[in-house]
Chain A
Amino acid sequence: MAHEETVYDALDHAHGGEGQWAFGTGFDDPLAGVDTTVPDGVDPADLGAYCLVLGDDALVLCQRLTEWATRAPELEEEVALANCGLDLLGQARLLLARAGSCGVLGRSRELATDSVPDEDALAYFRDAGEFGCHHLVEVDGGDFARTMVRLLVASTARLALFARLRGSRDPVVGAIAAKGVPELTYHRDHAARWVLRLGDGTEESHRRAQAGVDAVWPLTADLFTATDVERRLVEQGVAVDPADTRDEVRDVLTMVLERATLAVPEWPADRPSPGRAGEHTEELAPLLATLQGLAREHPAATW
């Protein structure tokens, strides 16, 4: 057998010996060695569809957060937002890989070349109508205050969901959720402290924070109604009914806003999430164009 001289040789050897060893497409399966057997009685199509929408929320919010790279108000904050984005990217990779392991790939597998792993096919080769993210994570982040309000709402809802998903009957989903909980706790705390600082800050920072709250609040209508897939998976002990998280999410958000001297708008009436059904705002397509452009331009590339 070959004894590689350097770690680069080993990376090269592990990835087909064509000199393509760096991070990126084709590099690494985040579920390598994980038992991805679907539990008895669970429809793989449902499980995969559920993992896909949870992954889409993370992937799209990650993209919105990293838009602040080079533009954040201070270097430490840029690093913080990139760190939150990296955690979400990791969650997205695991969840998209889990969807792929369930055979939920749709048209993406036809569009992507064979060398592209399932998670990348799902991330880069689906159009907006095939994404299942909530409008909350896809809309433009606006100014820094609105970015922080959105991060607070999104991380509060996701943390409440992931804390409950730790007990999922699918051990892979349970493990991904358990790993995500401490990460989301850091994100929520970080966003909450900023909302507090901005709301209870200067007249201008208060005005902007309140404008952010008023813009983001209507989007919470989508967060608490289970889809048909979720309803079936809840019965099987795999998924969490988002309605079960509503009180906790509203309590946390109300507490932060009151401490921040911000007015809590009236809660919108719950509605089925259009995003989960593939109906999106016109802001998602340009985001995806940025996210997917390189992979689609060079569909066979690994780098």
Chain B
Amino acid sequence: MSTALEVAQTVTDPELPMLTLADLGVLRDVRTEHGQVVVEITPTYSGCPAMGTMRADLVHALHRAGFADVDVRTVLSPPWSTDWISDEGRRKLAAGGIAPPGPAPRHTGPIPLSLGPTRRTATCPVCGSADTEELSEFSGTACKALRRCRSCREPFEHVKEI
């Protein structure tokens, strides 16, 4: 029989189904307390609308695997960062046509304003060219930006650093 951790690690993200919640860094802890499986997850963004589905998916998977008593808890701190996306997760994103994020910015003191075009780079997941441009810092979900490849002209999404 699989452990609760192994089962929880198979559950995929509702909006990025090529990734597991573990790949995404959203699955923070799985443990057993007095016979109850306690799962901790954290939202990517404050307004992430998928938290309810994630919670239900985890409960569903664990119930099917025979864990009757499951409590899925939200943890807010520390806040999720794209740095928590695993190497495996980054490979799966790229294979799925979504450019993975670079290192997240780390600020000490006042947060600087960036008025120019963003300096971040992303490689085209279609043709591999590094010559890409940002169309918008916002895209179909809160965690992604919209870019276009100048070489093959394909638009693509990029998980933006946070």
Considering the chains assembled together, what is the distance between the CA atoms of A259 and B71 in angstroms? 52
Of B60, B76, B162, which contacts A182 at CB under 8 A? B162
Judge if A127 is at the interface, Cβ distance under 8 Å.
no
- Chain A, residues 72-87, CB within 8 Å of chain B (1/0): the string is 0000110110111011
Contacts of A10 in B (CB 8 A): 56-57, 59-60, 63
Count B-side interface residues using an 8 Å CB cutoff: 43
Contact B137 A91 (CB under 8 A): no
- Chain A, residues 30-48, CB within 8 Å of chain B (1/0): the string is 1111100000000000000
Contact B60 A7 (CB under 8 A): yes
Give A163's nearest chain B residue, CB to CB: B111
Contact A79 B138 (CB under 8 A): yes
The 9 closest A-B pairs by CB, nearest first: A33-B73, A90-B47, A90-B46, A175-B76, A10-B60, A175-B77, A80-B138, A83-B138, A28-B52
Contacts of B135 in A (CB 8 A): 76
Q: Which one, A188-196, A231-239, A266-274, is touching chain B?
A: A188-196
Judge if A128 is at the interface, Cβ distance under 8 Å.
no
Judge if B114 is at the interface, Cβ distance under 8 Å.
yes
Contacts of B53 in A (CB 8 A): 7, 11
Residue pairs across A and B with Cβ atoms less than 8 A apart, 18 shown, are A9-B60, A10-B56, A10-B59, A14-B55, A27-B52, A28-B51, A32-B73, A34-B75, A34-B76, A87-B47, A90-B43, A90-B45, A178-B78, A178-B79, A180-B46, A181-B79, A192-B115, A252-B113
